[in-house]
Amino acid sequence: MKNISKVLFLLLMLASTVSYGQKKSKKKGAEPAPQSQPAKAEKKSPFKKYSDIVTSDAVTDEGLFKVHMVGEKYYYEVPFDLLNADMLLVSRISKIAAGLGGGYMNAGSKTNEQVVRWSRVQNNIHLRSISYSNVASDSLPIQLSVSANNYDPILAAFPIEAFNADSTAALIEVSDLFLSDNPALSGLSENMRRQYKVRNLDRKRSFISRMASFSENIEVRHDLTYNATEPPSNFRSGTISMEMSQSMYLLPEVPMQPRIYDQRVGWFTIRQIDYGSEALKSDVKTYIRRWKLEPKDPEAYARGELVEPINPIVYYLDPATPEKWRPYFRQGIEDWQQAFEAAGFKNAIIAKDAPTKEEDPDWSPEDARYSTVRYVASTTRNAVGPSVSDPRSGEIIESDIIWYHNHLRSYRNRYLLETGAANPSARTLDTPEEEIGEMMRRVISHEVGHALGLPHNMKASYAYPTDSLRSASFTQKWGLAATIMDYTRYNYVAQPGDEGVRFVRMLGPYDEYAINWGYRYIPEANSAEDEKPILNKWIAEKAGDPKYLFGGGNSFDPSSQTESVGDDPVKASRYGLANLKIVAPNLVKWTSTPGEGYADLEELYGELIGVWTRFAAHVITNIGGVYEEFKTTDQSGTTYTPIAKSAQIESMKFLNEDVFSTPDWLLQKEILNNIGPSGAVAAVGSMQSRLLSNLLRKDRLERMIENEALNGAEAYKLTTMLSDLRKGLWSELSATKEIDTYRRNLQRAHVEMLAGLMKQDEKNRTDISAAARAELKTIQGMAKSASSRYPSGIFQYHLKDIDALIESKLSEE
C-alpha cells in the first residue's frame, strides 16, 4: 500500500508542475517549452552594422579601396578580392622641418619603400611587409621551405568592424596606423632619433589631413609631431613636426618580364636568390630596373618604324620651379627622346607642367601616379634622381628628380674655375642666363638618366682622346664624354685660342646604346633567359670600341675616375693646370662686386684648391693602376690589365714637378691678404698631404708588389717608386737649397706616412714594411749628412728634427 501511495503522490506532483508551466507560458503568449530543454540565448555578433559606422555624416572616397572619414576616425573598406594582392607602399616626407637630415632630405624625400599585402586572419585584417629577396616558383616543393624561412612581418593588425552590404569587403579603422610611431611609416630614422634626442610621438599633436582613393592607389597625408630634446631647428620648441605622405599602389597582377643584368652595360638592379633554379645552388638572379615600354603598334615596330609606347614616361615640373628655368628643365627631360628612338620608340619621355588646383585639385607630387622634377628651396648643392620600382621584376613605377636651389652656385663656380681661362663668358659671378640654363639642362638630363635606370659610367670620359677635346668639330658632335652619366662636367682641357669648342657636357653615343640595350622590345623572347643571346649579341657588336665600355668608378682604374676628361690623365691635368695658372691671378678681378666683401673670393679660392687636387688625384691613380674591363668567358683578353711602366714613370715625374713642389702660382698675395689673416700654409699643406697619403695607400702598394711578381721587369717596382718619390721630395738636400715652409711640412708628412706603413705591417710583415723602413733609414742618413752643410737656422733645425723623428719611429718597434 505504501508503494501505491508513493506512486500516486508523484503523479499528482508531476501533473501540478505541468499545469503551472502551461499557465505561465500562456500568460506570456509563448509556446510552452519543456522544462528539461530551456531556450538558448542567441550568440551576439562581434561585428557592428555597416550603417552604424558609415553614417550619413561620413565623407567617402571611392577607388582602389573605399575610404571613409567619420568624425575624427578613418576607415578602409578592404575588398576581399584584393586580399593577398601585392601593393607598393611608398613613404615620403611632404613637409619637412628646417635642417632635418642635414641638407640631403627635403619635401619629397622617400623614407621607405616596401611591398605590402592585406590578409584576413579570423576576425582581423593584417597588413604584412613582403620581401622578394628569396624566391621560388609556387609550383615547386621548395617554395614551402622558402616561405617558412622568410616569414613576413606583420606591420599592423585591425579588427574587422563591419562588412559592406554584399559582404565583399571588410571595414577596418586605420587611424592608428597613421597616428602611431610605426617605424615602417615614419620619417625619422634611428640615427635621426638619436641625433635629435627624440623622446616620443605626441599623439595629441598628430593628425590625418588627407585620405584619397584612386583607381590604382590610395594617398594619405598625416602630420607627426615628436618631442625632441635637440631638434634641428626651432630649438626652444623641443619639437619636430613633419607631414608624411603614404602612397599605396596596386602592383600588376602579372609582373613585367624582367631583363637580366649584364655588368658590361651599367644599370641599377634588383637582386633575388632563386631557390628553384636548376643550378646546383641557390641562384642569384639580378635584373635591371627600367620602365615598362611596349609599342602601340607592334607590327610597325617590328618593321623598324618609330612607334609611340602604350604608356610613355611623363615628368611633371614642380609648380615651385622658377619660370625662367622651366624651358631648360623640359629640354633636359626630353633630350632622352633621341636615345629612346635608338630603341625604336618616339615620344617615349615627355615633360609637362603640373596642373593647377583648378585643373586638378587632387594632383600632388607625392602621388604614386606622377613622376616629378622637384625644385627644392635648400642651400644643399646637389641634384638627385631616385626612383621607385617593383621588386618582383625591376619595373620602375615612378620617380622624383630633386633639384636643390643652391646647385646653381656650384655650377657657376666650377664653370668659372675650369673654363674661365679659355672661355671669356665664364669670367664672372653673373654667368649669362642662357649658359646657366644649359648647365641646368644637362644636370636634369643626368638625373633623369638615373631615374631611367642608368648609374654613373665613369669610363665614358676615357673614350675620347684628350687632344680631341680642344677641337670644336669633335666636341660639338661628340660632347666631352661618351655619356651624360659620367662626371665630366666641363671641358678643362680646352686652352685659350681654341675657338668654338664645347665647354658643357651633353648626351653621347653610350646613352643611345644603353637605352637600346635596356628598353628595346623583344617580343620573340618569352622569358628573361630567352633574351640573353640577343642582349649578348648587341654587346659583342660593340666590343673593342671604348665609347661603349662601362665602369662605375673605383680607386685603382685611371680610366674610370670621377671628374676626369680624356684618355690621358697626365696630359689632361697638365692642360688643366695651365688653365688654373691663368685663373688664379685673375680671380680677384673676376669675382669683385662693388660694395661687397670678399666672401665669394674666399669660397672660390677654396674650390680652386679642390679643383687642382682632383686633377692631381687623376694622375696618382696611374701609379699602381689597373685597367678594369668587364668580360665574359667567350671574349678574348683579360679583365684586369696593369698600367704600362712608362705611363707610371711619367706620372711620378709629373707629381714631383707639379704636385709636390711648392705651388707658387696658387699663393696669390692679393687673394690671401683679403680672405683671412692666415691659413694659406695650412691649406696648401693639407692639400699636398692628402695627395701624398693617396699615393702611399697600402692597397696601391700591394698592387705594385703583385704586378712585379707577375710581370717582373715590365712592372714599375714599389722600391723604384719610393726612391723616385724620395728624390723628388728631398731634392733640396743634395744641392743644399733652401727648404721652404710648404716643403718642410710635406717632408714631415712623408716621414710620418712611411712610419705609418711600417707600423701597419707590424703583425704581418710584408715587403711594404721592409721598403718603408729602408726609406726611413735612407732619409735619416740624408738629413744627418745635410744638416751640417746648412748654417744654423730653421733649415738645420728641421733636418735635425727629421733625424730625431725617424729615430723615435724606428725605436718604437
- Collect contacts of 236-241 with beta carbons under 8 A, ≥24 apart: 239/202, 239/205, 240/97, 240/100, 240/188, 240/196, 240/198, 241/97, 241/205
pTM of the model: 0.89
By C-alpha distance, which of 719, 582, 559, 575 is closest to 644?
Answer: 559
Separation CA 444–CA 266 (nearest Å) = 19
Q: Is the pLDDT of residue 230 over 80?
A: yes
Mean pLDDT for all residues in the chain: 90
pLDDT in tens, 722-777: 999 999 999 999 999 999 999 999 999 999 999 999 988 777 788 999 999 999 99
- Domain 298-567 fold is Collagenase (Catalytic Domain) (3.40.390)
Read off the pLDDT of each residue in 402-413 and give the average, rounded to a whole number. 84
- pLDDT on residue 102: 78
pLDDT in tens, 420-457: 999 999 999 999 999 999 999 999 999 999 999 999 99
Give the relative orientation of helices 407-419 and 433-452 as an angle to the nearest 10 degrees.
110
Read off the pLDDT of each residue in 377-382 and give the average, rounded to a whole number. 74
What is the residue extent of each domain of the chain? Answer: 50-250, 298-567, 618-811
- pLDDT on residue 33: 43
- pLDDT on residue 142: 80
Contact (CB, 8 A) for 741 and 681: yes
Q: Is the pLDDT of residue 383 over 80?
A: no
Q: Is the pLDDT of residue 27 over 50?
A: no
Separation CA 109–CA 111 (nearest Å) = 6
DSSP 538-576: HHHHTTT-GGG------SS-TTS-TT--SS-HHHHHHHH
pLDDT in tens, 168-204: 999 999 999 999 999 889 989 999 999 999 999 999 9
- pLDDT on residue 612: 96
CA distances from residue 657 to 492, 662, 667, 688 in whole angstroms, order as listed = 20, 9, 17, 13
Q: Is the pLDDT of residue 604 over 90?
A: yes
- What confidence tier does 37 reach under pLDDT thresholds 50, 70, 90? low
- pLDDT on residue 110: 87
DSSP 238-283: TEEEEEEEEEEEEPPSSPPPP-B--TTS---EEEEEETT-SSSSPE
Read off the pLDDT of each residue in 462-486 and give the average, rounded to a whole number. 97
- pLDDT on residue 42: 63
